[in-house]
Structure 1
């Protein structure tokens, strides 16, 4: 069986999403979302999705690009996934090699990748010259049967609103998202500065659920939020939960997430997923309080080139 690596074609969206779901069942992936992400990638990211194909079947995929929105210069990323039932055929090695060659051509000096924390995956990364950095947990909550904390009445001056209430002017949510993203734990920071791109790729993303996203508003000002993603099959994912620095320490993020989870259950969602950096103790504690359990761990690896 000959394995080839090539650029994606529009008709590859279903196969690309299928590999992603099989390799990372803790993340939402649909053909519509995959095609949307390809079409709306920021030009500065030089985004180049790849697939590994064998006898006409897509058995692996790679998300490759530059971290254009990071203050760190010359950082690139290549996240490679191979279908668990198709491993051992060299698809991962071919995808990694093609990804690295492309990133070096684009001027990247530090190549970052996420891999599941399994001995075989770690050995693969280390054989290719990568060194481990930080890690992050995937967490799952059984929304169909697990008890949720009771809904709480917001304190005086605080109102809980769905993100859909801001449809006429989402800019306040963009500003809140930018504030909370700026100090999110990670080894490659992110700065949200392009409102139009945020509108196109976050607010209008096919997985983003404005009705189930909850915003805590304090005296008319958006102060905290829990962003919801849904895939139409009963799976719910938290895109981001955060609080603006000026409003921290008041339990607003927990309040918003609890409201979102309760409404997600009413809407028919049966599984909830989220992810946290292993060093993010406060958010891990909040998710444990909700009943989430760690279901897998990813490790960030980096390789310096040039």
Structure 2
């Protein structure tokens, strides 16, 4: 039967999560997180979560929207996933076509998409007019059997806290993330300048574990952090690890991430995942120090609309 594409409904959350886990098992995905991202998306993002359905079964999905945090207007994204058992039946093409038509109507000039660095996926993207841009890696660390570096005390003048300690006023975390995000290598620059949007989208995300998210503080100011997301069971993912420019080169990224990983293992997590742009040498070196191995590579592709 020919697949159809429609908008996400709340009762799709479990099925969409299953598709994403099967198509991209290197990310932490939960039904609660998927539903939350739809409900809390910024109006400026014009966000849609598309669902491909065949014979009543969800077989594919796509995250679609405008890069509203970019200072460059007209940039958009579509990240599509089809369950491995249902590929080759037209769901992927139909999802992408639907997404592109929607984004064109919203004024998008460029559409960016992450594509697994495998012949099938790259051919699919290139046939649709997408050209490859920059690569990024997924990395995995075995927390059940692998050895973590021993815990170290923070350098003189620094102290460690959990993000949960900032529950009454998380703005210092927002300010630190905003500076670190501006320095991340990417095709799409991002400027975090809306605190209320960050509170709704990031701080309140159900997958964020504030007890496992570790923060370094100096003179009362947040200077480094390692954000942690989990599936509530055994899978842990680094949301972002960053250090303010004036405090880099002191091992703070390793410090906060190491304490976060130790806490995650003690909480029962058995797998840790993270992702790094291929040009992000400092974080790739940090993750190599922990023992992370590259488990997959994506290449960002871009297509000019119109």
TM over 0.5: yes
CA deviation profile, 1:114-165 (whole Å, cap 9, x unmatched)? 0111100000000000000001000000001100011111111110110111
**Normalised by the size of structure 1, how large is the TM-score?**
0.99
Q: Deviations 1:252-287 (Å, cap 9, x if unpaired)?
A: 111100110011111111100000000111110110
Match of 2:228? Answer: 228
* Alignment partner, residue 92 of structure 1: 92
Aligned residues: 306
Are 1:206 and 2:220 counterparts?
A: no
Alignment of 1:94-243 (within 5 A): 94-243=94-243
User: How far apart are residue 78 of structure 1 and its match?
Assistant: 0.5
SS of the counterpart of 2:48?
A: coil
Output one character per residue of 1:88-138: Cα deviation in whole Å (capped at 9) or x when no partner: 101000001000000000000001000111100000000000000001000
Say yes or no: does 1:50 pair with 2:50.
yes
For residues 5 and 168 of structure 1, the distance between their equivalents in structure 2, rounded to whole angstroms, comes to 42
SS of residue paired to 1:185: coil
Query: Which secondary structure state, in structure 2, belongs to the residue aligned with residue 136 of structure 1?
Result: strand
Ranges in structure 2 where 5+ consecutive residues have no aligned partner: none
Q: Is 1:286 the counterpart of 2:296 in the alignment?
A: no
Query: How far apart, in 1, do the equivalents of 2:94 and 2:289 lie?
Result: 42
In the alignment, which residue of structure 2 is the partner of 1:11? 11
Residue pair 2:139, 2:295 contacting (<8 A) in 1 also: yes
C-alpha distance in structure 2 between counterparts of 1:276 and 1:70, whole Å: 19
Alpha-carbon distance in structure 2 between the residues aligned to 1:230 and 1:264: 9
User: What is the DSSP-based 3-state SS (H/G/I as helix, E as strand, rest coil) of the residue aligned with 1:72?
Assistant: coil
SS in 2 for 1:49: strand
1:183-235: per-residue Cα shift (whole Å, max 9, x none)?
Answer: 11100011111111111111110000000000011122110000000111210
Q: Please list every run of 5 or more consecutive structure 1 residues that lacks an aligned counterpart in the other structure.
A: none
Runs of 4+ in structure 1 over 6 Å off: none
**Structure 1 residue aligned with 2:33:** 33
**Contact 2:132/2:299 (CA < 8 Å) preserved in 1?**
yes
Distance 1:265 1:48 in 2: 35
What CA distance in whole angstroms lies between the structure 2 residues aligned with 1:304 and 1:197? 28
RMSD: 0.7
User: Given that residues 2 and 90 in structure 2 are in contact (C-alpha distance below 8 angstroms), is that contact kept between their aligned partners in structure 1?
Assistant: no
